[in-house]
Amino acid sequence: MKALVKSCFSVFSVMLMVIFLVPAGAWAADEIKIGVIYPLTGGAAAAGRELRAGAELAAQIANSKMDLPMTMAQNSGVKSLRGAKIKLIFKDHEGNPTLGADQAKKLILDDKVDGILGCYFSSVTKTVSAVCEQYGIPMINGSSTSPALTERGFKWFWRTTPHDKWFTKDLFELLVGLTEGKVKGVKAIPKKDIINVASACEKTEWGSHVSKLIKEFCKEYKFKLRKSFLYAAKSADLSSEVRSLKASRADVMLFASYTSDAILMVKTLKAQKAQPKIIWGQDAGFEKPEFRQTLGDSISGILTRTVFLPKVVEIKKLAGQVNDMYKKKTGNDLGGASARAFTGLQTWVAVLEKAGSTKPAAIQAAANAIYIPGKELVVPWQGIKFATTGNEMGQNVLGSGLIGQYQKNKEGKIDLEIVYPFDVSSADMIYPFSGF
């Protein structure tokens, strides 16, 4: 009996020693739960499907071991957490900020997630990030672009994507480039030919900020803003809005619209035979597969800002490899939404790897210190590194944008070509727009 007691005591002692010697976070769960909040139904469901597929592909790569030149693909799970797998728990915010906040609370309190990824709509990201801030739960945002999101001094919020100020500035740099002969395939044009600008943006957190930025950059770059207004999102009719745009006689028309509105706006512009020299969309609906599938050849010449185009695969081998996997999964090429969702989840994996723990404080410290080199990203950025001081806390300072133009390819299909930055242009720019 004494021998048995002594033996049990020895085993117990060894267990205690192991408990105290194992570093914090090493007792990892078999899986790490990330709550993902996207618009999976409603007017932006098409974008939601892309976002979900991008995040799922990143998780698949992280949880496996694949022949890809990225750290995430080498470890078969999070190595510093004993190979723990990433589990994504999806919630649908339907484009509703209040619902998004409620879903975040459920993920935190009921599902006990280790962190949040989302939410595409800036208005929803605003409320969800406030919930995360309240509970001290880390949130990484891959695809919301309202500049205000990283101007709040939040300690639990990080954004990988560039925001609208950067993207809108790119557009005005393109316009200036047109006047200076920098645009591939276009001789220098007089500024007076494109000086009149008009904008129509949807009345949301995102659209309102884009409208404000357009006003600011028109003033800075000395363009004349002839018309600027916000319209109700998910409109059933945009006839009066288009008549207002036509009456402004704008040379350049700028839009911030999600999928259904972007399609309706272009259909109405065509029906009313609008003839601007340049049409530019602030990504979102202007870059969705449904936009090109629904409108066909009539979008040839339309510009859209983005962070990823299929042409990027000609610049980055990794982008081509991941794009092939995504296309096999969905039937479509990676786009701005899916590529950023992929990158957002990739960032989550890198942060967890560096943290070696699922404790919020460890994740926070890791996110503030993380650096992912551009060569490991599918998007054409210099990398990912978050600002920890100044007025843009949590903003990735190494991102950048692209401007693409819809053009017919050699097979007669509509494709997106890169027209900005000028040094990576993949085709001559069509100018002026003559699709209608």
- Residue 366: CATH number of its domain: 3.40.50.2300
172 and 268 belong to one structural domain:
yes
283 and 196 belong to one structural domain:
yes
194 and 248 belong to one structural domain:
yes
Packing angle between helix 164-179 and helix 205-221, nearest 10 degrees? 30
Residues near 428 by beta carbon (within 8 Å), at least 6 away in sequence: 184, 185, 186
Report pTM.
0.79
Rounded Cα–Cα distance for residues 173 and 167 (Å): 10
- Asked whether 385 and 371 are in contact (CB, 8 A), the reply is yes
51 and 138 belong to one structural domain:
yes
207 and 133 belong to one structural domain:
no
State mean pLDDT over 188-212. 94
Q: Which of 2-6, 128-132, 164-168 comes out lowest in average pLDDT?
A: 2-6
Residue length, the chain? 436
Exposure class string for 57-81: b at 16+ Cβ within 10 A, else e? bbbbbbbeeeebebbbbebebbebb
Please classify residue 296 by burial: count the beta carbons closer than 10 Å to its beta carbon, then call 0-12 exposed, 13-18 middle and 19+ buried. exposed
Name the DSSP letter for residue 279: E
38 and 151 belong to one structural domain:
yes
pLDDT digit string (tens) for 226-271?
Answer: 999 999 988 899 999 999 999 999 999 999 998 899 999 999 999 9
- Residue 1 domain-assigned (yes or no): no
- Residue 17 domain-assigned (yes or no): no
Residues near 287 by beta carbon (within 8 Å), at least 6 away in sequence: 281, 304, 306, 335, 336, 337, 404, 416
Rounded Cα–Cα distance for residues 42 and 94 (Å): 6
Name the DSSP letter for residue 257: -
Name the DSSP letter for residue 146: -
- Residue 10 domain-assigned (yes or no): no
pLDDT digit string (tens) for 351-388?
Answer: 999 999 999 999 999 999 999 999 999 999 999 999 99
Containing domain of residue 242, as a range? 165-306+401-424
- Residue 104 domain-assigned (yes or no): yes
pLDDT band at 29 (very low <50, low <70, confident <90, very high): low
Q: What percent of the chain has pLDDT over 90?
A: 78
41 and 70 belong to one structural domain:
yes
Rounded Cα–Cα distance for residues 226 and 219 (Å): 12
Structure confidence at residue 23 (pLDDT): 41
Q: What percent of the chain has pLDDT over 70?
A: 93
CA-to-CA dists, residue 131 to 103, 199, 405, angstroms: 10, 33, 38
Strand order in the sheet with 414-420: 224-231, 196-202, 252-256, 278-281, 303-306, 402-408, 414-420
Per-residue pLDDT for 17 more than 80?
no
pLDDT band at 436 (very low <50, low <70, confident <90, very high): confident
Residues near 13 by beta carbon (within 8 Å), at least 6 away in sequence: none
Cα(first)–Cα(last) distance of the chain, in Å? 94
- Cβ-based neighbour number of residue 294 at 10 Å: 17
- Residue 84 domain-assigned (yes or no): yes
- Residue 70 domain-assigned (yes or no): yes
Please spell the DSSP secondary structure of 68-105, one letter per residue: -SSGGGTSSSBGGGTTBEEEEEEEE-TT-HHHHHHHHH
Structural domains counted in the chain: 2
- Residue 263 domain-assigned (yes or no): yes
88 and 43 belong to one structural domain:
yes
247 and 284 belong to one structural domain:
yes
pLDDT band at 16 (very low <50, low <70, confident <90, very high): very low
CA-based R_g, the chain, Å: 24
Helix (H) or strand (E) holding 304: strand 303-306
81 and 100 belong to one structural domain:
yes
Q: Which two tokens stand for residue 66?
A: 């694949």
209 and 265 belong to one structural domain:
yes
- Residue 322 domain-assigned (yes or no): yes
337 and 413 belong to one structural domain:
no
